Structure 1
Amino acid sequence: MLENRIRVLIVEDEAVLALDLGEMLEKEGYHLAGIAHNGRRALELFREQPVDLVLCDVQIKGDWDGIETVGRLLAIRSVPVIYLTAFSDKETLERAKLTQPAAYLVKPVNPVNLQISIDLALQRFNLGAARERLPEKDTFSREAILRIEDSIFIKHNYQFMRIEVEDILFLEADNAYTTIVTSDKKYAIRMTLSMALNRLGIIKLVRIHRSFVVNVRKIRGFNDREVYIEGYTLPMGKQFKEDFMRIFQIQ
């Protein structure tokens, strides 16, 4: 599901390092949005296609260094940024801070540190800067879910796929995405869990945790800490228990 993978733009003028980073990202399941060897090419790629995250070397050749390049990208739209750096002086780091990067990654890069930095960047962005772009994401996702009676249609592989509400087991948050889980398939949509729940507007779907929404008709059992749904054990958040019990009793 290419359109549901996190799209990463690499801005790096060392060709070997850029290619290595691209391979690492694709092995980890990310979509490589492109490799730019200078700021102007980065700006072109950023304008041409959706980009969810930017990996940018602080020192790149060309008219703009990495920091100025990032500033120009962020002037178009807000995305999380990870700076790549081997070494930088204090003045350069102070300039970098002004662009509010989500993380720094020291070269040479290894897959473990890369994954940790990306996870950290996405988490920080979703907790902080993402609040400012929620209206934009909502606009982007308006047509990701359509509802008709007891069915929904979600965009999957460039077409709308039908899912019966009764077949939904639960929804799971995954950073800026929501995964809809049925008994035999999983569908990822580029929409936060809260947005997906609001768009669906189905009373049978109840939030039990900051990362999970369940279909109450599929619950096999529950206790104070967990909810059991057809082979899945999901956590119950204390702050959601009261609402869960209230809606459950209505059913």
Structure 2
Amino acid sequence: MQSVTILLVEDEAILSMDLTYRLEQMGYYVVDAVDNGPDALRICEQKTVDLVLLDIHIRGEWDGVETARRIREISQMPLIFLTALTDGPTIDRARQVGPSAYITKPFNDLNLRIAIDLAIYNVTRSATVVSPIQPATDTLPTEEPSRGEIIMLTKDHVFVKQNYRFVKFPISDIRHLQSEGNYTDIVTASHKYTLRLVLNRVLEKLHANEMARTNIVRIHRSYAVNLRQVTTFSEQEVQVGGRQSPSGGVTASSL
């Protein structure tokens, strides 16, 4: 399981350490904490960063707004400003780089968590490309609303909300999906993610991504597998990661 990765740009050392601790207690992963714009830009170019938290007043020639503008030139990752500056000209400049949120100091953990989750939700929703889905050939139970369950995609990763926070994992890590009633488990080598969604609905969401649409196929009323993780198969069953699943539709040509 991977947490959402955050780059922190803050020039007050004590506040930076405190904020890093608070973010990690919330379940996020702080990939780095820096105090200036050039270092922030370098990290965004070299590492996987899902979101940037920036103070506006930081060290060096670039302030937080200029740093955000330069990050925008290489990535559309969400940006959140954390600052004590609330004057009109500063807010106007900040607005021009399209931040996901503008949080004034002091702030509490709840406001910060809400801002981060909304930022991730909005960017992954806008990154999802919807493609035509072939309807299932069998009859499924009537679907219920998701009731707060969230599954979203970027180019290479799946984001799901578990225990009130977003976690992510590579699409390629999916081994199989198994449903029971209105619940579906997405299983990787190291974790199981349970969603209150029927299998057909989960596959519709996953198949909005080309990689998932090509590799993740339904083999049974209650099972789907990642073809790239299949080790053996027969007319009756498919084996993925040492686990056998009943087969009703996988063929050699699929593999």
Greater RCO structure (CA 8 Å; 6+ sep): 2
Q: 1:115 to 1:61 in 2, by over 3 A?
A: same
Distance 1:95 1:131 in 2: 29
Do structure 1's residue 110 and structure 2's residue 108 form an aligned pair? yes
Residue in 1 that maps onto 2:83? 85
What SS does structure 2 have at the residue aligned with 1:82?
Answer: strand
Unaligned runs of 5+ in 2: 130-152, 158-169, 195-204, 224-255
| Matching residue within 207, 210, 213 for 1:198 | 213
Q: For 1:125-144, what aligned pairs fall within 5 Å after superposition?
A: 125-128=123-126, 130=127, 137-138=154-155, 140=156, 144=170
How do 1:159-178 and structure 2 match up within 5 A? 162-163=175-176, 167=178
In the alignment, structure 1 residue 217 sits paired with structure 2 residue 232: no
* Contact 1:10 1:54 (C-alpha < 8 Å) held by counterparts: yes
1:56 touches 1:84 (CA, 8 Å); kept in 2?
A: yes
**CA distance in 2: counterparts of 1:162 and 1:101, whole angstroms:** 36
2:36–2:58 CA contact under 8 A, matched in 1: yes
Name the structure 2 match of 1:241: none
Normalising by structure 2, what TM-score? 0.59
User: Aligned partner of 1:217: which letter?
Assistant: S
Q: Is the 8 A contact 2:86 2:104 kept in 1?
A: no
Query: Mapping of 1:18-33 within 5 angstroms?
Result: 18-33=16-31
The answer as to whether partners of 1:56 and 1:81 remain within 8 angstroms in 2 is yes
Kindly provide the CA deviation profile for residues 224-251 of structure 1, in whole angstroms up to 9, marking residues without a partner as x.
xxxxxxxxxxxxxxxxxxxxxxxxxxxx
C-alpha spacing 1:162/1:197, structure 2 compared with 1 (3 Å): closer
Alpha-carbon RMSD across the aligned residues, in angstroms, is: 3.4
Distance in 2, matches of 1:121 and 1:106, equals 16
Per the alignment, residue 180 of structure 1 pairs with 186
1:49 aligns with 2:54: no
1:73 match: secondary structure: helix
Structure with greater proportional helix content: 1
Q: Is the 8 A contact 1:171 1:181 kept in 2?
A: no
**Residue in structure 2 matching 1:97, options 95, 98, 105:** 95
Tell me what 1:37 maps to. 35
Percentage of matched positions with identical amino acids: 37
Aligned to 1:68: 66
Counterpart amino acid of residue 57 in structure 2: Q
Please list the CA deviations of residues 190-228 of structure 1 after superposition, one character each: whole Å capped at 9, or x if unmatched.
xx7332752444245xxxxxxxxxx7427xxxxxxxxxx
Question: Which digits, 9 at most, give the CA deviation of each residue in 1:43-78, with x for residues without a partner?
Answer: 122122110000001121211000000111111111
Contact 2:4 2:29 in 1 (8 A): yes
Helix, strand or coil for the counterpart of 2:222?
helix
What displacement does 1:131 show? Answer: 5.5
Structure 1 residue 108, shift from structure 2 partner = 1.6
Report how many aligned residue pairs link the two structures: 176
Question: Residues 168 and 181 of structure 1 are in contact (CA less than 8 Å); yes or no, is this contact kept in structure 2?
Answer: no
CA distance 1:16–1:199, shift in 2 (3 Å): farther
